[in-house]
C-alpha cells in the first residue's frame, strides 16, 4: 500500500501543532525547506522540524530545496528527521553528501527536478534509500502534476531497489497512476491540507490508489 506524506507547506502556519495532529493518520510528514536561492521562496528551517518532533509519531521527511545542503545535514538530523532528501541539482558531491546523511543513522534521499534526466543519478543510487521525483517545478504547492514524471518513476522501478517517492500535484485523481508506475510514497499538500477533514482526505487518497 502506498504511504501518504502530507506536506506541511500547505498547512496553516499559525496553528502548526494542531495542523500536524490533524494528519496523524498519515505515514510520513513532509517538510519543504526552501532557502530563496535554490528556489525563489524561503520557507522555514530546522527549528520547525525540531519543535514539531515531540508533537508527532510520524516518520519525518525533510526535503531540502537548498544550496550547499551538506552544511545543514547535521542540524536536520539532530532535529529528528528520519529521512533527509537533497537535490541532485544542488549538491556538488552527491555521493559524499548522501553518505553524510546515512552517517547520522537515518535514511538518505536524492531528488530530481522535472528538467533533470533520471539517468543522471544512476551512479549514486547505491548511496540512496529514497529517490524523490519532483512532479512539479519546486518552490510552490498547488501546482499541476507533470506527466513527464511517470517515465522517471517507471525507470526507477526497474533500476532502483529502494523507496520511490513522488512530490507535486498529487490528487485522488492521479494517485493510482503514479502508484501503478511504481511509487511507494506520495507527498500531498493541497490535496490534504486544502480539505476540512484531513483524515478523510488521507483515506480518500489511500482508497483512490488501489
Ligand atoms: C514543492 C514542494 C511540494 C509541495 C507539494 O516545491 O516540494 O512538497 O508542497 O504541494 P502540492 O501537493 O500542493 O502540489
Ligand atoms: Zn517537497
| Known catalytic residue at 61 | no
Q: What is the pLDDT of residue 174?
A: 98
Query: What would the mean pLDDT of 108-127 be, rounded to a whole number?
Result: 98
To the query of whether residue 167 is one of the catalytic residues in this protein, the response is yes
Find the mean pLDDT for residues 63-81. Answer: 98
Nearest to 98 by CA among 89, 88, 119: 88
Domains (range + CATH), the chain: 3-209 (3.20.20.70)
Q: How far is the CA of 65 from the centre of ligand 2 (A)?
A: 8
> In sequence order, what DSSP letters do the residues of 7-58 get, joined into one string?
BGGGS-GGGHHHHHHTTTTSSEEEEEEEBSSSSS-B---HHHHHHHHTT--S
**Pairwise CA distance, residues 84 & 132, whole Å:** 11
Provide the percentage of residues in the chain whose pLDDT is more than 90.
Answer: 100
Question: Would you say the CB of residue 188 lies under 6 angstroms from ligand 1?
Answer: yes
Residue 153's pLDDT is what? 98
Output the CA 7–ligand 2 centroid distance in Å. 7
**Whole-prediction pTM:** 0.98
Ligand 2 centre and the CA of 167: distance in Å? 6
Please work out whether the CB of residue 138 comes within 6 Å of at least one atom of ligand 1: yes
Choose one of 189, 193, 198 to mutate for the ligand 1 pocket test, by most ligand atoms within 8 angstroms of C-beta. 189
pLDDT value, residue 119: 98
Amino acid at each position: 500500500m502506498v504511504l501518504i506524506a502530507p506536506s506541511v507547506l500547505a498547512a496553516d502556519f499559525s496553528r502548526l501543532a494542531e495542523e500536524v495532529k490533524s494528519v496523524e493518520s498519515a505515514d510520513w510528514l513532509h517538510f519543504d525547506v526552501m532557502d530563496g536561492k535554490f528556489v525563489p521562496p524561503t520557507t522555514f528551517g530546522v527549528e520547525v522540524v525540531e519543535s514539531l518532533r515531540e508533537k508527532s509519531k510520524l516518520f519525518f521527511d525533510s526535503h531540502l530545496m537548498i544550496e550547499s545542503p551538506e552544511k545543514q545535514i547535521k542540524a536536520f538530523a539532530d532535529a529528528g528527521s528520519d529521512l533527509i532528501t537533497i537535490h541532485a541539482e544542488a549538491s556538488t558531491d552527491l555521493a559524499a553528501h548522501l553518505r553524510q546523511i546515512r552517517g547520522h543513522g537515518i535514511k538518505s534521499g536524492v531528488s530530481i527536478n522535472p528538467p533533470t534526466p533520471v539517468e543522471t543519478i544512476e551512479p549514486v543510487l547505491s548511496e540512496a534509500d529514497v529517490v524523490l521525483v519532483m512532479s512539479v517545478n519546486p518552490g510552490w504547492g498547488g501546482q499541476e502534476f507533470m506527466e513527464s514524471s511517470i517515465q522517471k518513476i517507471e525507470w526507477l522501478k526497474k533500476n532502483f531497489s529502494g523507496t520511490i517517492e513522488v512530490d507535486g500535484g498529487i490528487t485522488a485523481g492521479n494517485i493510482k497512476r503514479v502508484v501503478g508506475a511504481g511509487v511507494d510514497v506520495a507527498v500531498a499538500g493541497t490535496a490534504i491540507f486544502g480539505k476540512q477533514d484531513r483524515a478523510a482526505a488521507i483515506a480518500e487518497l489511500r482508497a483512490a490508489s488501489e
